[in-house]
């Protein structure tokens, strides 16, 4: 764990950026005067919803796949994912010309299954539990000799995710705060190391759904807790924070705050309406903390990583809440 | 009419751009590799959905309001609009510090009424017919001495709208085609003059909903026809093309093609899903013609003006079609 913490640093993040640059977008940073007025701050949104496969996950997955030695790479890669990481690994493997095996829960959204298949990856279905995913993925690895690209407990994934914050701090000067959501903690760990290394005085604030607040509870307790979870609309953030991720978070993150489901849906809708961009619920979580005045950002320059834009347009949270 | 045609040219468009530049965004041009692959072309989307008030209408309205002599301006401005032009005039008047009177149909969306009011304009309601709007607006002008800023039959509005194409051609070299939707023809007239003046070999293709195809019929007939209309989801394009606009279109536009309602909804959804941006139905109309192979753009560099992003998130066309 300590080794992993050490191996993610600004040098490795910069090297990762060079490595993945041909394969990813340097995404836009958008601002919105209405939102700035509403919260009396200057918000800078790093639009990873515009990233390849529609999410920051492309960064970490591409870095991890392209870091592999040729010999190991030839055996292929495997992961388990119901969402963006699976598509990102599949795409990176296709770019490198190696096989990919993606274990997906049998109840995954069809559009996500098709996305993975469109990159030529082999999809292996399993029961929709965390345990079943891990077991099936281990089986696949045993059978195929593929190497695991875990979605967040992987130093090269964390390093790759850190390139989003690196670009944001390169493009926007004088940030007082940087905010991102936390699920497994891959993005948060990379973001925190990149941001604190480039600008030590910056505050790194993570935001988590109240219904899946293991990272916030762990942060307060000073040790990693595995907590009971309720359903959250922020489907990218349902997982527990990883062990190496938590070690980095303890060292580099200033605070983890929580937001309600209602606040997430309202924040998502506000961003769609004012900024005219499509973001997924998980991406709305940091702005929810600002809109609800849980994080005080008045008169500050705030970088926010919008994590992704993959949503089911037939099941938007406001239309389903209207139907209920 | 001939005078008007002459007064809109690349010089006046450049002057308009200088005039409005402090008050509008130079909007991004986005590309998407998935869409490019799907239609075997290079598409460049000029994102006026990111423009002030969420639509290109800011350009023309701001130019018209800031072109007024001080003495005339002091009397205020008036217009009738159920949509983006009303908000754009209200905003421009606020920026110039003059009164604005916006005549709106009594059944206008609440969000649009609030938008106009948020700029301090006086909203005057009328019956929801074109005739009632014109009569009420004439009354308001009589009573207040305000000057009419028509949403498309106005040379300064047309000139202002032309700045979007001007920016697009400045930013993207070698365009073979430029496409935009046509309703009243303010955007189309400005776009056509800007594009043909800057790059004579470019093809200017307008796209119109089949259910409101007066411009396409007029273009074929060689004279302006006022046609029967059916309902179209593309609410910005329900109006007849204006007289001066049609004169410009006859001179500068290469073709006007039509698209079905289904094609518009599908194109809108495709752009939301692949590009992760929110556009209104009218903005999807040009891409609909490409997706349906009505306009052949294979191996071409195509500029597309995405006109705006103001949609009611509670009444998206795909959710309502599902409910039916």
Q: What distance in Å separates the CA atoms of residue B199 and residue B215, rounded to the nearest whole number?
A: 24
Interface contact B317, partner A, CB < 8 A: no
Classify B225 as helix, strand or coil.
Answer: coil
pLDDT at B322: 44
| A273 interaction partners in chain B (CB closer than 8 Å) | 278, 313
Q: What distance in Å separates the CA atoms of residue B268 and residue B225, rounded to the nearest whole number?
A: 28
What is the rounded average pLDDT of the residues A108-127? 92
Min distance B311 CA to chain A CA atoms (Å): 8
Checking if the pLDDT of A185 tops 70, the result is yes
Are B316 and A318 an interchain contact pair (Cβ–Cβ within 8 Å)? no
ipTM of predicted assembly, 2 dp: 0.93
Rounded to 10 deg, the angle between the A155-171 and A10-20 helix axes is 90
| B50 interaction partners in chain A (CB closer than 8 Å) | 30, 275-276
Spatial contact of A147 and A75, defined as CB atoms under 8 Å apart: yes
Mapped to the 3 state alphabet, what secondary structure does B90-119 carry?
A: HHHHHHHCCCEEEEEECCCCHHHHHHHHHC
Checking if the pLDDT of A155 tops 60, the result is yes
Cα–Cα nearest to A61, from A44, A32, A81, A37: A81
Cα dihedral A157, A161, A167, A168 in deg (nearest 10):
-170
Q: What distance in Å separates the CA atoms of residue A118 and residue A287, rounded to the nearest whole number?
A: 33
| B275 interaction partners in chain A (CB closer than 8 Å) | 50
Q: What distance in Å separates the CA atoms of residue A270 and residue A248, rounded to the nearest whole number?
A: 32
| B277 interaction partners in chain A (CB closer than 8 Å) | 276-278
pLDDT tens digit string along B256-302? 999 999 999 999 999 999 999 999 999 999 999 999 999 999 999 99
For residue A18, with 0-12 CB atoms within 10 Å meaning exposed, 13-18 middle and 19 or more buried, which class applies? exposed
Residues 6+ apart with CB under 8 A from B120: B90, B94, B100
User: Which of A30, A276, A314 shows the shortest C-beta gap to B318?
Assistant: A314
Are B272 and A322 an interchain contact pair (Cβ–Cβ within 8 Å)? no
pLDDT tens digit string along B231-266? 999 999 999 999 999 999 999 999 999 999 999 999
Q: From A47, which residue of chain B is nearest by alpha-carbon distance? A: B276
Checking if the pLDDT of B28 tops 70, the result is yes
User: Which of A54, A278, A319 shows the shortest C-beta gap to B278?
Assistant: A278
pLDDT tens digit string along B166-194? 999 999 999 999 999 999 999 999 999 99
Q: Lowest mean pLDDT: which of B107-121, B185-199, B298-312?
A: B107-121
pTM of the model: 0.94
pLDDT at A1: 45
User: Which of A269, A277, A314 shows the shortest C-beta gap to B276?
Assistant: A277
| B30 interaction partners in chain A (CB closer than 8 Å) | 50
Helices (H), A97-242: 110-118, 130-144, 155-171, 186-198, 214-221
In angstroms, what CA-CA distances link A139 with A122, A125, B194? 14, 12, 62
Q: How many residue contacts between A and B have a Cβ separation below 8 Å?
A: 49
Q: What distance in Å separates the CA atoms of residue B176 and residue B300, rounded to the nearest whole number?
A: 6
pLDDT at A315: 87
Checking if the pLDDT of B5 tops 70, the result is no
Residues 6+ apart with CB under 8 A from B60: B85, B88, B151, B154, B156, B157, B158, B159, B160, B161, B186, B187, B190
In angstroms, what CA-CA distances link A249 with A5, A83, A183, A184, A217? 10, 23, 12, 11, 13
Spatial contact of B176 and B202, defined as CB atoms under 8 Å apart: yes
pLDDT at A318: 86
Q: Lowest mean pLDDT: which of A85-89, B67-71, B319-323?
A: B319-323
| A316 interaction partners in chain B (CB closer than 8 Å) | 313, 316, 319
Residues 6+ apart with CB under 8 A from A301: A41, A42, A44, A172, A174, A175, A176, A177
- In 3-state terms, chain A is what percent helix, strand and coil (to 5)? 55, 15, 30
pLDDT tens digit string along B36-61? 999 999 999 999 999 999 999 999 99
Min distance A25 CA to chain B CA atoms (Å): 11
In angstroms, what CA-CA distances link A54 with A15, A103, B29? 23, 20, 18
Query: What sign results for the dihedral spanned by CA atoms A29, A33, A35, A40?
Result: positive
- Report phi then psi at A26, rounded to 5: -85, 100
- Report phi then psi at A128, rounded to 5: -80, 60
Q: From A275, which residue of chain B is nearest by alpha-carbon distance? A: B50
Q: Which pair of structure tokens corresponds to residue A120?
A: 């030529």
pLDDT tens digit string along A238-272? 999 999 999 999 999 999 999 999 999 999 999 99
Classify A45 as helix, strand or coil.
Answer: strand
Interface contact B236, partner A, CB < 8 A: no
pLDDT tens digit string along B84-97? 999 999 999 999 99
Q: Which domains does chain A have, with CATH numbers?
A: 10-55+155-319 (3.40.50.1100), 58-148 (3.40.50.1100)
Are B272 and A313 an interchain contact pair (Cβ–Cβ within 8 Å)? yes
Calculate the CA A54 to chain-centre distance.
11
In angstroms, what CA-CA distances link A1 with A5, A6, A16, A302, B322? 6, 9, 20, 30, 50
* Average pLDDT of the residues of chain B: 94
Report the share of chain B in percent with pLDDT over 70: 97
User: How many other C-beta atoms can be found within 10 angstroms of the C-beta atom of residue B128?
Assistant: 13
User: Which of B47, B276, B313 shows the shortest C-beta gap to A273?
Assistant: B313
Q: Lowest mean pLDDT: which of A21-25, A310-314, B42-46, B64-68?
A: A310-314
Checking if the pLDDT of A324 tops 80, the result is no
Interface contact A269, partner B, CB < 8 A: yes
């Amino acid at each position: 764990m300590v080794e992993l913490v050490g191996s993610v640093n600004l040098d490795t993040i910069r090297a990762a950026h060079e490595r993945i640059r041909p394969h990813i977008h340097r995404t836009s940073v958008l601002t919105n005067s209405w939102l700035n007025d509403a919260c009396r701050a200057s918000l800078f949104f790093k639009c990873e919803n515009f990233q390849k496969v529609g999410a920051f996950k492309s960064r970490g997955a591409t870095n991890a796949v392209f870091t592999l030695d040729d010999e190991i790479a030839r055996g292929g890669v495997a992961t388990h994912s119901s969402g963006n990481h699976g598509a990102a690994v599949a795409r990176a493997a296709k770019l490198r010309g190696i096989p990919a095996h993606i274990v997906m829960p049998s109840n995954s959204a069809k559009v996500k299954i098709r996305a993975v298949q469109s990159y030529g990856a082999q999809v292996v279905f399993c029961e929709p539990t965390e345990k079943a995913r891990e077991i099936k993925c281990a089986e696949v690895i045993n059978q195929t000799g593929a190497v695991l690209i875990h979605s967040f407990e992987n130093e090269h994934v964390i390093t790759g995710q850190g390139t989003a914050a690196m670009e944001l701090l390169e493009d926007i000067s004088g940030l007082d705060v940087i905010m991102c959501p936390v699920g497994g903690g891959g993005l948060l760990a990379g973001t925190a190391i990149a941001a604190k290394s480039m600008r030590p005085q910056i505050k790194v604030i993570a935001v988590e759904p109240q219904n899946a607040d293991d990272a916030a509870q762990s942060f307060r307790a000073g040790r990693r807790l595995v907590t009971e979870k309720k359903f959250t609309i922020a489907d990218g953030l349902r997982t527990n924070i990883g062990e190496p991720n938590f070690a980095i978070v303890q060292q580099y993150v200033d605070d983890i705050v929580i937001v309600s489901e209602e606040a997430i849906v309202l924040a998502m809708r506000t961003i769609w309406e004012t900024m005219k961009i499509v973001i997924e619920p998980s991406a709305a979580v940091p702005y929810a903390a600002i809109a609800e005045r849980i994080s005080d950002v008045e008169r500050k320059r705030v970088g926010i990583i919008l994590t992704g834009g993959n949503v089911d347009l037939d099941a938007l949270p406001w239309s389903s809440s209207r139907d209920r």
